[in-house]
Structure 1
Amino acid sequence: MALTGNAFLAIWHDIEPSGQTEYMEWHTREHMPERLSIPGFKLGKRLINHDIPRYRYGTVYCGDTVEVFRSPAYLERLNNPTDWSNKVQPTFRNFLRVACDRVASAGVGEGGAMATIRLDLQDGASAADVTQGAQKLVDGLLDITAACGAHLGLAKTEVSGVKTRETELRPGMKEKEFDAVILVEGSGLPELEASVPQYLEAIAASSCGLGDPAVIVYNLAYQLSAADMGQ
């Protein structure tokens, strides 16, 4: 299935080397099922790239609306982490977590890899410019080799910036925020990487007013849906 709902929560981070195996076990067996049991959560994707020095791990959660990511049910879980979460969360490093309104999508199905492209508004550009040009941009990205889906979200840091008990568990860190993110799903990591220059050219040529791209291409490591959980 393609990304579902009208919003997504995007996460980038690293894990202390000694905790990487337990992190993946925890994320697959407890954490992602817990998140997908929360009302409004529709889909979760864990991403991984072992060959980069920073942000080796990523997660994308899809929600009905952006408000799902500060709903009472979600905040209750964030403020009452499990024993396993209490053990794993302190091993996180370089943690960046931002809720986004999904303003445009193109394509169907799932890719085996995903490019995440974090972007900032350029001088004079606004969120309205992004929204107006978003569908044309993602349609164009879909036409580029290796892409099977493209999605554009506007960051809503006021939603995901709420401090919780889980925030306290992770070591203090301040990662650079962004204004928008494009997610491009594709047939494989090397195929997407080969097309990154064309994706960036299309973004620069669009009317969205977005620049300063920060690109990471990941393999899809695990996926879970609310339907899988019987929700």
Structure 2
Amino acid sequence: MALLGEAAMILAFDIAPNAISEHDHWHSHEHLHERMSIPGFLRGSRWSSKDSSPRYFVMYEVSDLETLSASPYLDRLNNPSVWTAKMMKYYHGMNRGFCRLVFSGGYGLGSYCLLLRFSPDPEHEVALRDWLARKALASLHKKTGLVSAHQFEAALTPEMTKEQRIRGKDSGVDWVLLVTGYDKDAVGELAAAELSVTELERHGCINLVSCIYQMEHSLSRTEIEIPDSTD
């Protein structure tokens, strides 16, 4: 199985250039560990692109959508650490969506990915969903250089929390396609052909943002020490 849960939080954002080094250190050594200690969080991964904006794509795989509206997660968002509160001030253009997984093919995550964020044209939504599942994504993971393909759809509106108030109001995420692979050229060819902006718009995608990212860090819940709540 490629993904670890039935839902995911998808984030795409930029960081002030003078804070990039500290952001990456904080995210790897505090934030990912903190998030993975929350019940229902299964794996977090950070991806980046030095040539595109937004620079960062972060995905938190969770057991179900309810994880993202439950008190353990909301309590953490409303009580950020001192370091987290500091880093929130450097975030720009945050796009954040609580999404259900509607299609998944392949196994594992490759080190490169094509991330496509868009909305469906209401007049073509049913046909677009069918085309993605039956044709566009169905066998992508079997192509040389690729390992997995997924489709997400926003299903829950994030609450306003203290973290968001510090960095400013987030923009939403609607539909997302994520294709991962071990070969950067294969991912690039996909972005230029089968899942190009032109091809996706032809099938009813609007407000499309396409970007290729490389994974920087991945951490799963099984890899961290979770404090004993009885202590």
- TM band (smaller chain): 0.7 to 0.9
Alignment of 1:47-58 (within 5 A): 47-52=47-52, 54-58=53-57
Moved over 6 A (4+): none
| Residue 201 of structure 1, CA deviation | 5.6
For 1:213 and 1:145, locate their aligned partners in 2 and report how far apart those are by CA, in whole Å.
26
Superposed CA RMSD in Å reads: 2.5
- Structure 2 unaligned spans of 5+: 227-231
The equivalent residue for 1:165 is 162
Taking structure 1 as the reference length, the TM-score comes to: 0.87
Taking structure 2 as the reference length, the TM-score comes to: 0.87
Contact in 1 for aligned 2:95/2:173 (Cα 8 Å): no
Contact in 2 for aligned 1:7/1:64 (Cα 8 Å): yes
Cα distance, 1:178–1:84 mapped onto 2, change above 3 Å: closer
For 1:132 and 1:184, locate their aligned partners in 2 and report how far apart those are by CA, in whole Å.
17
The equivalent residue for 1:135 is 133
User: Amino acid of the residue matched to residue 218 of structure 1?
Assistant: Y
The equivalent residue for 1:10 is 10
Contact in 1 for aligned 2:11/2:58 (Cα 8 Å): yes
- Structure 1 unaligned spans of 5+: none
Alignment of 1:196-207 (within 5 A): 196-200=191-195, 204=199
For 2:25, what is the secondary structure of its paired residue? helix
Contact in 2 for aligned 1:188/1:219 (Cα 8 Å): no
String of CA shifts for 1:134-182, please: whole Å, max 9, x gaps.
Answer: 5324213334453210000011252x2x100001110x3564x443101
The equivalent residue for 1:30 is 30
1:179 partnered with 2:178: no
Cα distance, 1:165–1:182 mapped onto 2, change above 3 Å: same
Cα distance, 1:94–1:80 mapped onto 2, change above 3 Å: same
Cα distance, 1:129–1:38 mapped onto 2, change above 3 Å: farther
User: Amino acid of the residue matched to residue 139 of structure 1?
Assistant: A
For 1:119 and 1:86, locate their aligned partners in 2 and report how far apart those are by CA, in whole Å.
30
For 2:182 and 2:198, locate their aligned partners in 1 and report how far apart those are by CA, in whole Å.
20
Q: Which moved more, 1:128-137 or 1:186-195?
A: 128-137
User: Amino acid of the residue matched to residue 97 of structure 2?
Assistant: V
Alignment of 1:13-162 (within 5 A): 13-52=13-52, 54-126=53-125, 132=130, 134-136=132-134, 137-158=136-157, 160=158, 162=159
| Residue 87 of structure 1, CA deviation | 1.1
Q: How many pairs align?
A: 225
The equivalent residue for 1:228 is 223
